[in-house]
Amino acid sequence: MRLTRLVVTPAVAAACALLMFAPVSPSAAAPTVAAAKKCDATKETKTTKDDCPKDETTPTADPAVTDAQKAKDKAKADAAKAKAKDKAKGKGKKKKTKEEIEKEKKDAAEKAAAAAAATEALHLAEADLPRVTKRFKAATKRSKEANARLDGLNGKIQEARMTVARVARQAYITGVDPAALAQVVTLEAADATSWSNAQRMLKMVGDTESVRMAQAIALIESAEKEKKDADTEYAGAKAEYDLVTLNVRAARFSLGLSNDGPVAADVTEFFKTYPVPDCQFKPEDSNKTTRSCSDAMRYVLSQVTSPEKSWFNLCLNLVTIAYGAPQTIPNAIDQWNSMPEDLRHSPNTVAPPGALMFWAPNHVAISLGNNMIASNDVLGTGRVWIVSFQTIQARWNLAYLGWTAPDFRNA
């Protein structure tokens, strides 16, 4: 046999070499007997979990765990958004100046001081309320008893007057006076004794009626004095009761405002319906006013609960509007100085209802009587407050100058 020599080119040799030494992929390779035994699908051969190829598919997640994670992620995202929003808002916000910060601190301090003053006033008034209530009730009872006694004595004196009137009428019917009547009786009598008895009888009647009249008048005068004393005591007790009651309501109202809390409806209604005291000023005492003293007090009371505007530093403006007077005088102290000296009352006297009360260096307020005052700014800037004279002194410690009638003659 003749052997034929094969000639192989370099290119063919390289290709063969690649095929001979190329790695076989697991998927293309046929499984060995051992592998088949280990991954026996029929499970006739004992295998372990590591003997078989691992499943590369993603396991199914627990729905509850997924929802919780979603909620957590959402909360985190929302928080991040809010933080970013606040940061952006802060960037656009103008930084407060030193003056603005100081003003905020001052306002906060004033607000705290007003709340403290109102709290103290409320405690004092509530502590005093039982005593003045008891006194007021006792005075009311005494006044009623005095009136009843006077009514009873009026009946007695009326009865005495009627008796005297009957005697006088009898004398008038006879056409003679009692002395002449005695003489007539005597002439008809048989003896002088009858004349003497008749005269004595008429004198006795006159004396008796005179005594009864004198007794009745003395009783009525005594009862009138008793009534006057009872009425004086009642007026004082009522004034004190009204003062304490007003202090309690004003303090509660002040606390409601200073704490930015709701104001009780009964307190608001109390200020709307509060009976202003009677004014003692005569028409000639009030110059250039278009409102009465009572209307002026009602106006300032209305500004406590329903202010028309901010009354900050507008004390003179408040009292002039209350009285419907023109305001050409710039400051409260100028109003005081413009009044004649004989019309400026001493600070040692009590300001009557409706009077203008002045303090140095430059403040004016309206008296409500019973030592109560309607003033702006005293427990908080911009508002009208009802306070006692003691409260305004404690708050501001100003020099009280005195008071005048609501006289705007120089306005």
Domain boundaries, the chain: 117-258, 277-404
C-alpha torsion angle, residues 197, 202, 203, 204 (rounded to 10): 80
Q: What angle do CA 63, 68, 72 make, to 5 degrees?
A: 145
Predicted pLDDT of residue 284: 80
What is the rounded average pLDDT for all residues in the chain?
74
Cis? peptide before 361, omega within 30° of 0: yes
Give the amino acid at 183. Q
Q: Give how far Cα 228 sits from Cα of 70, 80, 172, 223, 225, Å.
A: 87, 81, 39, 8, 5
Predicted pLDDT of residue 163: 63
Give the predicted TM-score (pTM) of the model. Answer: 0.52
Q: Dig out the tokens for 42 from the structure.
A: 């029929």
What is the Cα–Cα distance from 232 to 163, expressed in whole angstroms?
A: 35
Predicted pLDDT of residue 179: 59
Q: What is the DSSP annotation of 56-74?
A: -SPPPPPHHHHHHHHHHHH
Predicted pLDDT of residue 208: 64
DSSP state of 341: G
What stretch of H or E contains 48? Answer: none
DSSP state of 371: T
Predicted pLDDT of residue 74: 78
Q: Give how far Cα 336 sits from Cα of 36, 318, 344, 373, 411, Å.
A: 120, 15, 8, 17, 12
Look at the domain 277-404 and name its fold: endopeptidase fold (from Nostoc punctiforme) (3.90.1720)
* CA 109 from centroid of its chain's CA atoms: 20
DSSP state of 288: S
Q: Which of 188, 409, 398, 181 is nearest to 285 (CA)?
A: 409
Sheet containing strand 384-388, strands side by side: 384-388, 372-376, 363-369, 356-360, 399-404
Predicted pLDDT of residue 59: 52
Q: Which residues of the chain have pLDDT under 70?
A: 1-68, 86-93, 157, 160-161, 163-210, 212-214, 216-217, 257-269, 272
What is the Cα–Cα distance from 405 to 323, expressed in whole angstroms?
A: 11
What is the Cα–Cα distance from 411 to 390, expressed in whole angstroms?
A: 30
What is the Cα–Cα distance from 363 to 74, expressed in whole angstroms?
A: 61
